[in-house]
Amino acid sequence: MDRLVLGTRGSSLARWQAAHVADGLRRRWPGLIVEEKIIVTEGDRLQTGPLWNVGGKGLWVNEIERALLSGAIDLAVHSMKDLPGQITEGLVLAAVPPRADPRDALISRSGAALADLPLSARVGTTSLRRTCQLKAVRQDLDVQILRGNLDTRLRRVDEGTVDAAILACAGLERLGLASRISERLSLAQMLPAVGQGALAIEARADDEGTQSLCRPLDHEESAIAVSAERSFLARLGASCRTPVAAHCILADGQATLSGLVGRPNGSEILVDRVTGASSEAIALGAMLADRLLKRGAGAILAINK
């Protein structure tokens, strides 16, 4: 195999991620031709309103996955946090490259940190997870829906549409915009989305050739951590209408997984943590989900389905 067609969305961040993977493949396999194919997703076409009312995460990946299954492309590159908890039948994660900073970032027009934003400041986000955690610490904040690509959301901060926005540190860093970050929110302040900061390289399950080409790009620690987080999400069976967060840290052969389920308005948030052998990461994800379900997460999930 000397040619691969890689599918990606057309945003500047998605193009950066696709180019990053393509460059990695070319370095590992000199002579390999990697072509990009831009695919417009439903999430790209719907630029207004909350995502959770029109299909949630699948909006960013459905068309790309259909192209992959049909053979129009050979592999796809996604932001891991955009993938639903269950991989689509017929597809596999071929590799998880080294993860970037998983934290969320506050970008404020004044440069103020979250605690220093003025009373009733307008904060933009498209995420119920971020809304829930913002409201839990600052009920006074006026959290507003902020759609558009990264450049558009930064511009709306600059123009005063909102006073601040919450974005992923990883995306800002990848596009050379880390200087715009007013505060990197700690994991204690805001637990990230499942898989945040990681990339997902997806291939067809029956295409061993493409999988073998992608395998050298896999970063074992990142893949293990993400597998724990995704196991947690899958076991919960949460819809896009429920704030869910998780993050796994590996150290000395141990995995520590933190997880959160909450109500969108921040009035109730359940948080827990489990630790075990990193070789049991997937089991740890299921264990943490079961613990939160026993504490009442099931009732929260049922309300928001």
26, 6 contact by CB (below 8 A): no
Angle at 184 between CA 178 and CA 188, to 5 degrees: 155
pLDDT interval class at 64 (50, 70, 90) = very high
111, 182 contact by CB (below 8 A): yes
Fold that domain 3-98+198-218 belongs to in CATH:
D-Maltodextrin-Binding Protein; domain 2 (3.40.190)
- Alpha-carbon separation of residue 42 from 55, 76, 204, 280 (angstroms): 9, 16, 22, 36
What pLDDT sits at residue 43?
59
pLDDT at 305 over 70: no
Helices vs. strands in the chain: H and E counts, helices first: 10, 13
Cα 93 to Cα 89: distance, rounded to the nearest angstrom: 11
pTM higher than 0.85 for the full model?
Answer: yes
What pLDDT sits at residue 240?
73
Identical fold, 104-184 and 230-303: no
Which residues are within 8 A (CB) of 7 and not within 5 positions of it... i.e. 6 or more apart?
A: 36, 37, 39, 64, 67, 68, 72, 73, 75, 76, 77
How large is the average pLDDT for residues 51-72? 76
Angle at 269 between CA 263 and CA 271, to 5 degrees: 135
pLDDT: which is higher, 118 or 52: 118
Q: Which two tokens mark 209?
A: 């050739």
pLDDT: which is higher, 75 or 1: 75
pLDDT interval class at 124 (50, 70, 90) = very high
Cα 107 to Cα 168: distance, rounded to the nearest angstrom: 10
180, 151 contact by CB (below 8 A): no
What pLDDT sits at residue 241?
75
Q: Which CATH architecture has domain 104-184?
A: 3-Layer(aba) Sandwich (3.40)
What pLDDT sits at residue 54?
47
Cα 266 to Cα 257: distance, rounded to the nearest angstrom: 21
Cα 264 to Cα 135: distance, rounded to the nearest angstrom: 8
Terminal CA-CA length for the chain:
44
130, 190 contact by CB (below 8 A): yes
What pLDDT sits at residue 48?
54
User: Phi then psi for 78, rounded to 5 degrees?
Assistant: -125, 160
Q: Which residue, among 32, 55, 35, has the nearest Cα to 44 in the 3D structure?
A: 55
Query: To the nearest whole number, what is the mean pLDDT of the chain?
Result: 93
Tell me the per-residue pLDDT of 192-245, one tens digit each, with 9 for 90 and over: 999 999 999 999 999 999 999 999 999 999 999 999 999 999 999 886 778 999
103 in the Ramachandran plot: left (φ > 0), alpha (ψ -120 to 50) or beta? beta
Catalytic residue among 2, 74, 82, 218: 82
Collapsing DSSP to helix, strand or coil, 202 comes out as: strand
Angle at 104 between CA 101 and CA 110, to 5 degrees: 120
pLDDT at 258 over 60: yes
Residue 49 carries which side chain, given as an amino acid letter? G
Identity of the highest mean pLDDT range in 37-46, 49-58, 78-87, 212-221:
212-221
Torsion angle of C-alpha atoms 247, 175, 178, 150, degrees rounded to 10? -80
How is the chain split into domains, by residue range? 3-98+198-218, 104-184, 230-303
Q: Which CATH architecture has domain 230-303?
A: 2-Layer Sandwich (3.30)
Cα 74 to Cα 202: distance, rounded to the nearest angstrom: 9
pLDDT interval class at 51 (50, 70, 90) = low
Q: Which of 55-64, 121-130, 177-186, 197-206 has the lowest mean pLDDT?
A: 55-64
Q: Which residue, among 210, 215, 290, has the nearest Cα to 257 in the 3D structure?
A: 290
What pLDDT sits at residue 44?
58
pLDDT at 50 over 70: no
Instruction: Find the helix packing angle between 12-28 and 150-159, rounded to 10°.
Output: 140
Percentage of the chain exceeding pLDDT 90 = 84
What pLDDT sits at residue 302?
85
How large is the average pLDDT for residues 24-37? 97
What pLDDT sits at residue 52?
46
How large is the average pLDDT for residues 271-283? 98
Identity of the highest mean pLDDT range in 51-55, 82-86, 125-129, 277-281:
277-281
Say whether 82 is catalytic: yes
